[in-house]
Structure 1
């Protein structure tokens, strides 16, 4: 009996539709785990790079030298991207003596907002798939379960004497479809909630940096304007 009710035997004995449901859920689970590992690595790197940059930024390093050092790289991500976008726009607007300080700061902040939006889009990449997999996988499995049980009872109605051995395989294959749906959904939901929280924390840190960096640049603008007036 145990051999007859093994997973692989039940899969091969299942109807074509239930097999298709199981394969869809298996593929969904594989893709979900691939995205889980990918996002975990990406968000972990983003957090480490953010802490590394903050330590360097608040160490009192010269902003011009820091900008030149970072902009020389081929790939700029995370908080460094916000810094470079804002500082580049700040320098460009400051070159025009007719540009008022408010316009300089508004342009700088907008540049950082655009960079922030791009960074968040990159961090949230593939999270929509995890959310979708977590929400629909149980229903796909339930559909397979309903179909398998319906098929089992239809077959049961065609015989005069019903036994448990006759209906057990059909019900078992149906329940396996539900189990596979949960197997695909639970890790996806857990990962989605965890990654969404991490992205939210990173976004808050990025936004706080934008405000603090804008204040630093604004003070520099006021200081330079005061020097010009005194001269």
Structure 2
């Protein structure tokens, strides 16, 4: 009584049937395709969630910067207790650290009689280069492991094609060897392997392609937002600390 539902599921599932009736190489191809599918969905879900959280935390910190724009270097840069990245906070920390470092040097080596240290145009360029490096690092961190999706897009159909060719090859091999009823079963198993692996290869490649393009475009757009944020906070620092020459 309990075995009947399993038999119905087994008979109604062509993938299980193709896997059971395939040889060792066919089973290995099936396992590889299933693993590729698992890896694809893990990366898509994980990177999608990380990117979403990075945008959310950065948006929250941007509001804090907007409120404290009157004194850009006095904004609280302590990270809230969270395991998610906050690229805007990282960029602000780079700006604050490098700006204070340069101001201290200018104050130490500056001319006597100056009331407060200032930033020269070359100092602004130095801070800007550090911010550009930080943006590139944050983008690289968000794009980590995306190459695996691009690999699945190419590898999935090729593995499916390998299963297709192998299934057809075993089918013709059995047809040439015997003409018994058991051979007919083997022939059907070979054809089933050929078709099932093709479908699995496409099932792997299509979500990987969609996920890769979506994540790549999303991270690229967010990289532009990071560059804009860097320009905004750098402009605020320049307005407050750049020395104006008065003739």
Contact 1:5 1:169 in 2 (8 A): no
RMSD: 2.7
Where 2:11 maps in the other structure, the secondary structure is coil
The match for 2:23 is 15
**C-alpha distance 5-114 of structure 1, shift in aligned 2 (>3 A):** closer
- Looking at structure 1, the residues matched to 79 and 47 of structure 2 have their Cα atoms a distance apart, in angstroms, of 27
Superposition deviation, residue 23 in structure 1: 0.5
**Structure 2 residue 77 is matched with structure 1 residue 70:** yes
Structure 1: runs of 5+ lacking an equivalent = none
- What TM-score, normalized by structure 1, do the two folds share? 0.86
Contact 1:87 1:108 in 2 (8 A): no
Contact 2:21 2:186 in 1 (8 A): no
- Looking at structure 2, the residues matched to 221 and 65 of structure 1 have their Cα atoms a distance apart, in angstroms, of 13
Structure 2: runs of 5+ lacking an equivalent = 1-9, 111-117
The match for 2:158 is 139
The match for 1:191 is 211
Contact 1:53 1:80 in 2 (8 A): yes
Where 1:125 maps in the other structure, the secondary structure is coil
- Looking at structure 1, the residues matched to 13 and 228 of structure 2 have their Cα atoms a distance apart, in angstroms, of 58
Where 1:96 maps in the other structure, the secondary structure is helix
| Residue pairs, 1:23-38, within 5 angstroms | 23-38=31-46
- Looking at structure 1, the residues matched to 12 and 48 of structure 2 have their Cα atoms a distance apart, in angstroms, of 40
The aligned length equals 225
**Structure 2 residue 144 is matched with structure 1 residue 114:** no
- What TM-score, normalized by structure 2, do the two folds share? 0.81
List per-residue Cα deviations over 1:82-135 (Å, max 9, x = no partner): 111012101110112248612211221122122112211110011110111112
The match for 2:114 is none
The match for 2:170 is 151
